[in-house]
Amino acid sequence: MSQLKHVAIAGATGAVGVEMLKCLEQRDFPVGKLSLLASARSVGKTMTFRGEEIPVQELTPESFKGVDIALFSAGGGISKEFAPHAVACNAVVIDNSSAFRMEPEVPLVVPEVNGADVKGHAGIIANPNCTTIITLMGLNPLHQAFGGVQRIIASSYQAVSGSGAQGIIELEAQNKALALGEPIPERKVYPHQIASNVIPHVDVFLDNGYTKEEMKMHFEGRKILHAPNLVASVTCVRVPVYRSHAVAVTAEFTNPPSVEAARLAITSAPGVHVVDDVTAQPAKYPTPLDVTNGDDCLVGRIRRDLVFAERGLTFWVVGDQIRKGAALNAVQIGELL
């Protein structure tokens, strides 16, 4: 029997979809046939895969006949509408949106953290929130090493490409206007000017004063780490960086951690490395530019936390949110299948 798969990407022309195509090619995923799906606006475009020009087709309920794996990356509404059609055609859906993440029968998977959870799927597997994936790549080795994480306090520094292609366009236009001394063009994506600014507002506000994005770390973190009592207090901040998210994390563990054991745990874990030498000239810690277009997350600034004292650590973790936070993680789930 052929091991080559018919793969479909719904949202192929978007920021994440384009990266999915790259990941499939770079990782030599066993693609026998590829269907590239987007809105009617993209019909007529082609995209290159392994040197071949493939036409983009309009996403319809009939798009999934014969498809083995359907990577969805066109927003939650599209996933809710079309993923059931893909499942009805016996495709396994790997969904990048938040549409199904908290459904009990849908595994929510970061392969390096809870890859075994894919086994329980009933046709749909969810890719977690990008900031949550990057945070857990740094946190999980410590969660394993120190008897479980109990509480975290985190602040994110999120790039504009996290808002898709339109976020990049808005920052570019504002940067250009500032450089030329022209008025800032009308905003479409962010509630305030993002160029030369930071905005403590990612996603919509909820009744408890947190945003939906902030609560994703709390709820998705519990599900992925199998830690039902984990409590996360998060502040998500949009920063004028084009690509890759950073997160400052303070975590309290069941057992007293040490900085040395934390470094060893992270160094031994797949997909994440330590870059941490504040005595070097210049000091070494990872920045968004260090991870952009790369697969792995980087951790630095590891130190004993002064507030959580003997059971706390504080660290800084950075990852390319379009790759590990979305496209790469989805393709890795496909590899597990």
Active site residues: 130, 245
Residue with tokens 């030599």: 28
Point out which span in 8-16, 142-150, 221-229, 267-275 binds ligand NAP (CB under 6 A).
8-16
- Of 12 and 299, which CB lies nearer to ligand NAP in the complex structure? 12
Q: Which two tokens stand for residue 323?
A: 């790759």
Which of 11, 288, 300, 334 forms a contact with ligand NAP (CB under 6 A)?
A: 11
User: Contact between 38 and ligand NAP (CB under 6 A)?
Assistant: yes
Point out which span in 75-83, 173-181, 223-231, 302-310 binds ligand NAP (CB under 6 A).
75-83
User: Contact between 73 and ligand NAP (CB under 6 A)?
Assistant: yes
Pick from 152, 318, 319: which is nearest to 250 by CA? Answer: 152
- Of 164 and 240, which CB lies nearer to ligand NAP in the complex structure? 164
CA-CA distance, 63 to 312, in Å (whole number)? 50
- Of 257 and 325, which CB lies nearer to ligand NAP in the complex structure? 325
Point out which span in 9-17, 180-188, 197-205, 308-316 binds ligand NAP (CB under 6 A).
9-17
* Size of residue set near ligand NAP by CB under 6 A: 28
Which of 5, 7, 8, 16 forms a contact with ligand NAP (CB under 6 A)?
A: 16
CA-CA distance, 329 to 325, in Å (whole number)? 6
The answer to whether the beta carbons of residues 250 and 307 sit under 8 Å apart is yes
Residue nearest to ligand NAP (CB): 14
Point out which span in 22-30, 69-77, 184-192, 269-277 binds ligand NAP (CB under 6 A).
69-77
CA-CA distance, 107 to 110, in Å (whole number)? 10
CA-CA distance, 101 to 129, in Å (whole number)? 9
User: Contact between 322 and ligand NAP (CB under 6 A)?
Assistant: yes
Taking the alpha carbons at both ends of the chain, their separation in whole angstroms is 16
x-marked contacts with ligand NAP along 286-305 as a string, rule CB under 6 A = --------------------
- Of 24 and 74, which CB lies nearer to ligand NAP in the complex structure? 74
Site residues (CB under 6 A) for ligand NAP, limited to 121-180: 130, 161-162, 164-165
- Of 126 and 142, which CB lies nearer to ligand NAP in the complex structure? 126
Q: Footprint of ligand NAP on this chain (CB under 6 A)?
A: 11-17, 38-39, 41-42, 59, 73-76, 78, 96-97, 130, 161-162, 164-165, 321-322, 325-326
